[in-house]
Structure 1
Amino acid sequence: MNKTGIIYGINGPVIYLKGNTGFKMSEMVYVGEEHLVGEVIGLTKDTTTVQVYEETSGLRPGEKVTATGDAVSVLLGPGILNNIFDGIQRPLSEIAKESGKYISRGMQVDSLDPDKKWDVHLTVSVGDEVSGGTIIAEIPETKSIVHKSMIPPYLRGRIIKTAEDGQYTINDPIVTVQRHDGSEVEVRLAQKWPIRIARPTDKRYPASKPLITGQRILDTLFPIAKGGTAAVPGGFGTGKTMTQHQIAKWSDADIIVYIGCGERGNEMTQVLEEFGELQDPKTGNLLMDRTTLIANTSNMPVAAREASIYTGLTLAEYYRDMGYDVAIMADSTSRWAEALRELSGRLEEMPAEEGFPAYLASRLSAFYERAGMMQNLNGTEGSVSIIGAVSPQGGDFSEPVTQNTKRFVRCFWGLDKSLAYARHFPAIHWLTSYSEYLNDLAPWYKDEVSPKFVDYRNQLLAILNQESSLMEIVKLIGSDVLPDDQKLTLEIARVVRLGFLQQNAFHPEDTCVPMSKQFLMMEVILYLYKKSKALIAMGMPMSILKEDNIFERIIAIKYDVPNDKPEMFEDYKKAVDEFYDKVLEKNA
């Protein structure tokens, strides 16, 4: 018999029940006659507090609330990829069939299609000992990804019965496991998992491999590790969403979980349309074949926004358990924090800085802590990388969400509005950004790219820092009074900014650049710097060096050298040598 309670008070998405209802903390409940989905968030001896994940207008005191006996959970099984869900894992395509363009309240739709039959290939047989995470079947979920059905984490025993290879729905029993106490459990293709509890793993690995994004400023200057965390803070129009789009399209993650948390609906539409048409560079199939979208746009109920982050995380952890590298794009964690602030205000909790709840920091840390490169229960290795956009009001990085996020992420890609307005994209500023993964990833760069990689990267950053110091002087007294060696630093910094850091997302060669080309581009820029420095040391003025168009030619490398023709870089080194000889001859 399901426990019930009676509504006593309503305050926006928060409702109160009087008396001891017998409900459990974090239990999922159905509210009112329309069966709105809610979650128990507070219990005392006399009252139960529930947050409702749907619009509560029209509810009234006296209506019934029914407990389900389960925590708010997601259904894990084939059918998650190439799909778009709302914040509590209701597929929007199914909702659209039943209620049209707008989501009706109290919609009861299956998270995954219960009637679709999947081609199932069993990987275990009768008599096998199994435990949590053991892969029991493989299903081609999309053209790009093989779905691996697993034994639920806390089940162990011996298989006493299996189905034949063939077509099954997510609710058909695939294997029967006999526990060591003699009880039997049927395992199906789909299993439930509560969204607020991290899925268990065997071991967490330290960061050792980068998540290659194809974006030069990220891969070279401020890399993120697989299983790492990064924040992308920036004011309105600085390119947070586009940076995440680029990473989602080009990074070497196997699966992308894109969480649109409180963002504009047209941005989610753009993701849907682009990813539905774009060809995945890794597999040649559609990008949506390895993507799932959680859409909780700004006009959807605020409480579901708070849940959407955890829904996306749990889906990501499920695919990690299969041995895949998953990247989560959370856009944006500021809207999620605002949902926490609104609910906290409704609950009349004591506000902390800027009205955010006192537990903002612990919620953010718990979210980012679920990232990591893990050894799964079944012995495979997988990772969840979290890239969270932060939208500080007025671009003020000193506000609480940005500052608290900074404490828990190891990669900070600060977007700068002056760069964005100057059409320099990605508008990640090299002076405010940092990555703490560089030392962890140095051995990988040394082995996989070049032993000189980190040294070149540091030289590039040093040039940019010198430029910043010199620009302070230039602003005061102009560039003409600078000595020639400092003028050269400014010119090379311009080459680095325009030729290396600036990247064109619409150019076929420049939108995604392999690590080998990134290294060779750095090498040529630094070779030009070395040769020019030698000329300046011989007394050649900067004006003579600039008569040649060599600086512009090096800037244009990003377009002129195809990604698959690294041998062309030798021609540019020769061009630098010719430039060096020509200047010497001319001024001999």
Structure 2
Amino acid sequence: MSKGTIKKVAGPLVIAEGMRDANMFDVVRVSEQRLIGEIIEIHGDQASIQVYEETSGLGPGEPVESTGAPLSVELGPGLIGSIFDGIQRPLVDIMEATGNSLTRGVEIPSLGRTKKWHFIPAVAVGDTIEPGDIIGTVNETEIVLHKIMIPKGINGTVKSITEGDFTVEETVAIVTDNNGNDIRVTMLHKWPVRVGRPYKEKLPPAMPLVTGQRVIDTLFPIAKGGVASVPGPFGSGKTVVQHQLAKWAEADIVVYIGCGERGNEMTDVLNEFPELKDPKTGHSLMERTVLIANTSDMPVAAREASIYVGITIAEYFRDMGYSVALMADSTSRWAEALREMSGRLEEMPGEEGYPAYLGSRLAQFYERAGRVVSLGKEGREGYLSAIGAVSPPGGDISEPVSQATLRIVKVFWGLDANLAYRRHFPAINWLTSYSLYVDNMGKWFTQKVNDSWMSNRTRIMRLLHEESELEEIVKLVGMDALSAPDRIKLEAARSIREDFLHQDAFHEVDTYTPLVKQFKMMELMLHYFDYATEALGKGADVEELVKLPIREKIGRFKYITDDKVDKEYDDIITALSREIEAVIRKEEA
């Protein structure tokens, strides 16, 4: 264990001397207060340490002690439903021990050491095991079965295994390794956050992560195991989009990282999630959620660690064979922490002061997402989908964080301030957003939902793009200059915008739309366009077609409950045909 003394303090950066025996990324304890920090640079016997707690009051000569281990997270029962800070300190336990304010230097284990969990063995004495094998299970919550896996580096034969109630530190099994040594296995193990957890194989994504958000599922889908970015200016709804995805995405586990966000937004999450009912199970959403709260008033260095802590926990549940959705809100604040630490280290700055390694650090984070075959004889398939919000200053996505992110992710949901000001939410701009998963996902949508899904999506995108071109003409010469077919195009596109793409996150029915209902909504809007275009060819008046009473019912279809969708759809199609026929007969008469 390397011991040294403080030479210099510069905000969250502490320079310590006498640290020749320490290693890069070692966790250290700084001063008599035992503040936690991490070595990020070494010159000779001098170590640069980023301290994850407030450093006011520290001075030269105070002791620094290396633990000899990298920053790691504790993995085991007790993660689900917990609220951690950026370095996996349990905030609720700290509050109970020290009060409402975070006390510096407090040492409380991430996972409780006194609670007992009922362990049920999944292997028998004499079975051979290897890293990744499941040796038993624990019912962590009513909806999450926590699978206890053999840590990396243990191969051998099960010598003993016991069913019963254990704390995370108590021995549940003894494994005799290939050299004849007995190894005690507990339900707890640690993993360094900056190292991705190993797996057997990485597979290409094959199915979408269904979110119930129409603009996402229909136009810009994300794959299970995919990566997406949500850039947007202040007030454009990034956080609400992230909340909606956390609530409704088809994931077994949600890991939500509030990285440098406003405290009141994290408070909303903490208040909302326990109250929300999981649509699949009827239980509280917190029973499958891990929250990491590192708000903007917390020490800046811990922001940098919070992203890695979150994705390591997500990888752990992925290795169990679960589908995990990770929300990082926002990576811009994380990049700002990188920039601050880089500046204090006096590194050569890159564009806009960000460190030259910004792009590679972002890639290291996003590349840990994916669809993988986990270690172990079973070969479980797990998914980790990563969705990162980006907060570019002034909404300018040409800035370095946005551009570096766009080079990595395959889905870009570009939030638009103009749409937000017009109260169109989610404010995802359909002209600038894209998804590179569309073609891969097309086969799944046509097989699982309807053969016409992709053709309908293509037609809707075409109508929206043609509308933007027609709007330019209308601005120049007015609506009267448009032909009757172009008027119908504009009306159909307006209906798609206002009734399909606009979705009320706070309406009990509209907040989530199943894929079958999304398809029927597309069908209704395209039926109106097709019938009206056909009627124009038969001499129908365009004004009459625009003012059809049934159009209001088409617009309100999104508020129909799932059990009434089929009947309402049939009624609207019948009424639409009847009303258009009436307009045609009126013109013929």
**Residue identity matched to 2:157:** R
Asked if 1:251 corresponds to 2:249, the answer is: yes
**Aligned position for 2:130:** 131
**Aligned position for 1:444:** 444
Aligned partners of 1:463, 1:488: CA distance in 2, in Å?
10
| 1:316-357 deviation per Cα after TM superposition (whole angstroms, max 9, x unaligned) | 000011111000010000000000000000000111111111
Larger CA deviation: 557-566 vs 274-283? 557-566
**Aligned position for 2:281:** 283
**How far 1:454 moved relative to its partner?**
0.6
**Aligned position for 1:161:** 160
Aligned partners of 1:442, 1:239: CA distance in 2, in Å?
28
Corresponding residue SS for 1:518: helix
Contact 2:6 2:63 (C-alpha < 8 Å) held by counterparts: yes
**Aligned position for 1:51:** 50
Contact 2:259 2:334 (C-alpha < 8 Å) held by counterparts: yes
Aligned partners of 2:394, 2:235: CA distance in 1, in Å?
11
**How far 1:368 moved relative to its partner?**
0.3
**Aligned position for 1:222:** 220
Aligned partners of 2:537, 2:433: CA distance in 1, in Å?
33
Aligned length: 586
| 1:132-180 deviation per Cα after TM superposition (whole angstroms, max 9, x unaligned) | 11101110001110100110022211111212x1110000011111211
Q: What is the 5 A alignment of 1:287-366?
A: 287-366=285-364
Contact 2:220 2:435 (C-alpha < 8 Å) held by counterparts: yes
Aligned partners of 2:479, 2:338: CA distance in 1, in Å?
50
**How far 1:565 moved relative to its partner?**
3.0
Aligned partners of 1:374, 1:18: CA distance in 2, in Å?
43
Aligned partners of 2:380, 2:99: CA distance in 1, in Å?
42
**Aligned position for 2:463:** 463
**Aligned position for 1:122:** 121
**Residue identity matched to 1:488:** I
Corresponding residue SS for 1:365: helix
Aligned partners of 2:294, 2:146: CA distance in 1, in Å?
26
Q: What is the 5 A alignment of 1:559-578?
A: 559-560=559-560, 562=562, 565-578=565-578
Contact 1:120 1:168 (C-alpha < 8 Å) held by counterparts: yes
TM-score (norm 1): 0.98
Aligned partners of 1:574, 1:561: CA distance in 2, in Å?
20
Corresponding residue SS for 2:142: coil
Contact 1:561 1:568 (C-alpha < 8 Å) held by counterparts: no
- Identity over aligned pairs, percent: 51
Contact 2:224 2:383 (C-alpha < 8 Å) held by counterparts: yes
Aligned partners of 1:374, 1:12: CA distance in 2, in Å?
41
**Aligned position for 1:554:** 554
**Aligned position for 2:146:** 147
**How far 1:564 moved relative to its partner?**
5.4
Aligned partners of 1:187, 1:27: CA distance in 2, in Å?
25
**Aligned position for 1:369:** 367
Aligned partners of 2:316, 2:564: CA distance in 1, in Å?
36
**How far 1:509 moved relative to its partner?**
1.7
**How far 1:551 moved relative to its partner?**
2.4
Aligned partners of 1:555, 1:20: CA distance in 2, in Å?
68
Match of 1:174 among 172, 190, 213: 172
Asked if 1:8 corresponds to 2:7, the answer is: yes
Aligned partners of 1:402, 1:223: CA distance in 2, in Å?
20
Unpaired runs of 5+ residues, structure 1, are none
**Aligned position for 2:405:** 405
**How far 1:250 moved relative to its partner?**
0.8
Aligned partners of 1:125, 1:546: CA distance in 2, in Å?
71
**Aligned position for 1:76:** 75
Aligned partners of 2:73, 2:263: CA distance in 1, in Å?
23
**Aligned position for 1:584:** 584
**How far 1:19 moved relative to its partner?**
4.1
Contact 1:513 1:563 (C-alpha < 8 Å) held by counterparts: no
Aligned partners of 1:350, 1:377: CA distance in 2, in Å?
41
Larger CA deviation: 261-270 vs 504-513? 504-513
**How far 1:183 moved relative to its partner?**
2.1
Q: What is the 5 A alignment of 1:165-244?
A: 165-244=163-242
Q: CA RMSD in A?
A: 1.1
Corresponding residue SS for 1:568: helix
**How far 1:275 moved relative to its partner?**
0.4
Contact 2:7 2:17 (C-alpha < 8 Å) held by counterparts: yes
Contact 1:261 1:298 (C-alpha < 8 Å) held by counterparts: yes
Aligned partners of 1:32, 1:564: CA distance in 2, in Å?
66
**Aligned position for 2:271:** 273
| 1:517-553 deviation per Cα after TM superposition (whole angstroms, max 9, x unaligned) | 1011111111111110111223333112123223222
Cα distance change, pair 560–158 in 1 and its aligned pair in 2 (3 A): closer
Contact 1:514 1:563 (C-alpha < 8 Å) held by counterparts: no
